[in-house]
């Protein structure tokens, strides 16, 4: 009985050890697979078509609510789309790029009812900033992070200033990286200024436009909203700002109006890095040079210079 019982114990221990080893092996494999998840990144405005039919779905790599920030990238990144865009089509390139680089990435829609399909970012900008505030709180609660980094395009690069200045956002944001932001509004290539020379035209046009896109009227240079936003200085202490612009921006004009001032500000014009990059306003969100600048701004301790290549107007690349 003694030798047989001892042999049985050895067999049981061996089986348990083998099962434990296999379980650990499977767990390690699963963990490795999750850590090495890779999403295709398409540097082209054509990538936006991927979000044309699912405007309320996050782009690849975004909104993994089980994501936990790493020591290397402790701040989740919240992407803020522009006027007439949505979370899916605006971020088809940057979202997977960030996820592949180890970031927890989150997107949302604001300023527009789902009844209008893929069109968001058209309602009153102050209310949209309130939606951003609510979403940031949701992200920090889910991830346990103290702060987030914001990356926005067009209105999405300007609207967060309202959140930071007037809604207490500075306590929850470490960086704001803006692609072609309408920080001081836009003249739309001089059209808004031209309309002012014709009595009644500007008032008439804006009255009609406000019914469908209040944010469009608010983003006109010299509007009440833009004047209020910039009064006393648009930046706030404790937040680091990066503005990435293109000389060929045909939407937010003049492009020089996008730049900010202050010791906590970095302004980048992509043609100063690559004279043969002719991308415009929309293409900037799909431009590998501009998005390399985004990565550098989010992780200034580990930067790489953009690789200069020819990029045609409004194509991304």
Average pLDDT over all residues of the chain: 86
212 within domain boundaries = yes
311 within domain boundaries = no
pLDDT value at position 200? Answer: 45
pLDDT value at position 118? Answer: 76
293 within domain boundaries = yes
My answer on whether 198 and 52 are in the same domain is yes
Percent of the chain with pLDDT over 70: 80
My answer on whether 6 and 106 are in the same domain is no
Cα 183 to Cα 82: distance, rounded to the nearest angstrom = 13
Cα 135 to Cα 61: distance, rounded to the nearest angstrom = 17
Give residue 52's pLDDT band: very low, low, confident or very high (50, 70, 90). Answer: confident
Residue 304 has pLDDT above 90, yes or no: yes
285 within domain boundaries = yes
My answer on whether 158 and 271 are in the same domain is yes
Residue 72 has pLDDT above 50, yes or no: yes
pLDDT value at position 208? Answer: 53
Domain of 265, in residue numbers: 43-298
Neighbours of 226 (CB within 10 A): 22
Mean pLDDT of 88-96: 97
My answer on whether 22 and 94 are in the same domain is no
My answer on whether 87 and 207 are in the same domain is yes
314 within domain boundaries = no
Neighbours of 144 (CB within 10 A): 10
My answer on whether 17 and 98 are in the same domain is no
Stretch among 60-64, 199-203, 288-292, 299-303 having the lowest mean pLDDT: 199-203
Mean pLDDT of 15-37: 37
The position carrying tokens 């436009």 is: 209
My answer on whether 115 and 248 are in the same domain is yes
My answer on whether 52 and 71 are in the same domain is yes
Q: What is the pLDDT of residues 127-150, one digit of tens each?
A: 999 999 999 999 999 999 999 999
The CATH number covering residue 197 comes to 3.40.50.1820
Give residue 25's pLDDT band: very low, low, confident or very high (50, 70, 90). Answer: very low
Instruction: Tell me which of 226 and 119 has the higher pLDDT.
Output: 226
My answer on whether 55 and 25 are in the same domain is no
pLDDT value at position 13? Answer: 35
246 within domain boundaries = yes
Q: What is the pLDDT of residues 249-261, one digit of tens each?
A: 999 999 999 999 9
Tally the domains of the chain: 2
User: What pairs with residue 241 in β-bridges?
Assistant: 176, 265
Residue 19 has pLDDT above 70, yes or no: no
**pTM for the full model?**
0.85
pLDDT value at position 39? Answer: 97
Residue 206 has pLDDT above 60, yes or no: no
pLDDT value at position 188? Answer: 73
My answer on whether 81 and 204 are in the same domain is yes
89 within domain boundaries = yes
Give residue 210's pLDDT band: very low, low, confident or very high (50, 70, 90). Answer: low
My answer on whether 23 and 116 are in the same domain is no
pLDDT value at position 202? Answer: 54
Stretch among 15-24, 45-54, 115-124 having the lowest mean pLDDT: 15-24
148 within domain boundaries = yes
Give residue 269's pLDDT band: very low, low, confident or very high (50, 70, 90). Answer: very high
My answer on whether 275 and 162 are in the same domain is yes
Percent of the chain with pLDDT over 90: 75
């Amino acid at each position: 009985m003694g030798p047989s019982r001892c042999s049985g114990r050895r067999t049981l221990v061996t089986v348990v050890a083998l099962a434990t080893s296999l379980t650990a092996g499977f767990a390690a494999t699963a963990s490795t697979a999750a850590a090495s998840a890779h999403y295709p990144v398409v540097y082209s405005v054509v990538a936006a078509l991927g979000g044309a039919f699912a405007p309320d779905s996050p782009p690849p790599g975004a909104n993994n609510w089980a994501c936990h920030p790493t020591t290397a990238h402790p701040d989740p990144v919240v992407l803020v789309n522009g006027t007439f865009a949505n979370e899916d089509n605006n971020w088809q390139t940057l979202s997977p790029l960030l996820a592949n680089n180890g970031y927890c990435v989150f997107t949302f829609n604001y300023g527009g009812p789902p009844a209008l399909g893929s069109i968001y970012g058209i309602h009153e900008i102050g209310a949209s900033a309130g939606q951003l505030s609510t979403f940031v709180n949701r992200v920090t609660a889910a991830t346990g992070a103290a702060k987030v980094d914001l990356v926005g395009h067009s209105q999405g690069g300007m609207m967060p200033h309202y959140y930071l200045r007037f809604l207490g956002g500075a306590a929850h944001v470490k960086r704001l990286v803006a692609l072609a932001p309408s920080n001081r509004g836009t003249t739309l290539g001089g059209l808004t200024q031209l309309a002012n020379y014709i009595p009644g035209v500007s008032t008439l046009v804006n009255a009609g436009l406000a019914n469908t896109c209040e944010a469009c009227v608010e983003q006109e240079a010299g509007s009440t909203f833009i004047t209020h936003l910039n009064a006393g200085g648009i930046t706030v202490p404790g937040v680091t700002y990066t503005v990435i612009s293109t000389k060929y921006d045909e939407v937010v004009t003049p492009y020089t109006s996008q730049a900010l001032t202050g010791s906590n500000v970095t302004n980048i014009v992509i043609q100063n890095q690559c004279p043969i990059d002719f991308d415009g306003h929309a293409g900037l969100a799909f431009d590998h040079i501009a998005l390399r600048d985004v990565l550098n701004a989010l992780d200034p301790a580990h930067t790489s210079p953009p690789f200069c290549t020819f990029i045609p107007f409004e194509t991304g690349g």
